Amino acid sequence: MDKRLLKDVLAERFMLLLTIFAGLIVFVMAIGLYQRSRPILAIKSLSELLFSTSWHPLRKEFGFLPFIMGSLWVTGVAVIIAIPLCLLTAIFLSEYAPRYVREWTKPLIDLLAGIPSVVYGVWGVLVIIPLIKDYIAPFFGTFSSGYSVLAGGIVLAIMVFPIIIHVSLEVFRTVPYEIREASLSLGATKWQTIKHVVIRKAMPGIIAAIVLGVSRAFGETMAVLMVAGNVAKVPSSVLEPAYPLPALIANNYGEMLSVPLYDSALLLACLILLLVVLFFNVIARVVLIRVERSIK
């Protein structure tokens, strides 16, 4: 056989192998984490781990509920802040803004996506924490150290802006111009067209964009670790501290090997995080693929 052809075939095999490897990483990660979390699953039932609020590693009590609730609270606040702002911005950029505004805004939003999470954390500590402590909490007549669900939610909201806006813009672009024109020609105003035609048509994609934002917020670690307060208790208001799941994992990496079952419990927390995020991502991606296909 020709040397060149041999090289070609060898390269094909090699590349195929790497491609299969890349495609399987997700599964390998899930299996690896599962293997590591088996010791704790062997002695505790999953429901006990998920729904108990008692977190005392030294007494072998590993209840994840405060952390799961912490994650849900922080993510919830972030989403409530981010959804209206992001959708209004995406509609503005895709439907109203002149071309040069769009071309100036997009790189800036990309830049927002590039800022490292630890810098968001530093910013949160410098700006958001004092804001909540000195203005927002006194305004509602309560006391807060500033390190709270609200602080985590605000910082996370800014972190998910780029992803929600980016995906929504892509989705709006897939709405065919003809149907906009049809609506306008029937006498609808531009806003009516957007409200009744564009948004309705883009709805599945918008939801996918939000779901991607949610899953990003759910797994974000450093920034939240720095501003959420990290108290292992189910929060009862947005001004109370929370201890989200990723923060728990990151905070205890040092001591986890010295306490029996501790590492297993933390890697189980990782596995839970991974499965939740995978679930969200798979749904969002399937919807987005459908949206993309629908325009072809």
Partner 1 sequence: MDRRKIEEGLFKALMIASTLIILSSLVLILTTVIVKGVPAMNLAMITQTPKGGFYLGKEGGILNAIVGSLYLATGATFLAILISLPVVLYLNVYAKKSSRIITFTRFSLDVLWGVPSIVYGAFGFTIMLFFGLRGSLLGGIIAVALLVLPIMTRAMDEVIRMVPKELLEASYSLGATRLETALKVVVRQALPGILTAVLIAFGRGIGDAASVIFTAGFSDFIPYSLLRPAATLPLAIFFQLGTPFPEVQDRAYASALILTVIILIISIASRILTRRFTRHVVK
Question: Which 196-255 positions form the footprint of partner 1 (CB under 8 A)?
Answer: 212, 215-216, 218-222, 226, 246, 249-250, 253
Residue 41 interacts with partner 1 (CB under 8 A): yes or no: no
Q: Using CB under 8 A, which residues numbered 42 to 81 contact partner 1?
A: none
Stretch that binds partner 1, among 22-30, 48-56, 145-153, 199-207 (CB under 8 A): 22-30
Closest contact distance (angstroms) between CB of 60 and partner 1 is: 21
Residue 12 interacts with partner 1 (CB under 8 A): yes or no: yes
Q: What's the longest Cα–Cα distance across the chain?
A: 83
Contact letters (x/-) for partner 1, 171-190, by CB under 8 A? ------------------xx
> Torsions phi, psi of 27, nearest 5?
-70, -40
Q: Which of 245, 221, 219, 216 is nearest to 232 (CA)?
A: 245
- Which of 41, 179, 234, 274 touches partner 1 by CB under 8 A? 274
- Which of 1, 22, 186, 295 touches partner 1 by CB under 8 A? 22
Residue 107 interacts with partner 1 (CB under 8 A): yes or no: yes
Q: What is the DSSP string of 209-234?
A: HHHHHHHHHHH--HHHHHHSB--SS-
CB nearer partner 1, residue 86 or residue 137: 86
Residue 130 interacts with partner 1 (CB under 8 A): yes or no: no
Residue 111 interacts with partner 1 (CB under 8 A): yes or no: yes
Stretch that binds partner 1, among 24-32, 58-66, 134-142, 228-236 (CB under 8 A): 24-32
Residue 123: Cβ within 10 Å count? 17
Torsion angle, alpha carbons of 16, 21, 24, 28, to 10: 160
Residue 131 interacts with partner 1 (CB under 8 A): yes or no: no
Residue 158 interacts with partner 1 (CB under 8 A): yes or no: yes
- Which of 36, 60, 106, 233 touches partner 1 by CB under 8 A? 36
* Residues in binding contact with partner 1, number by CB under 8 A: 86
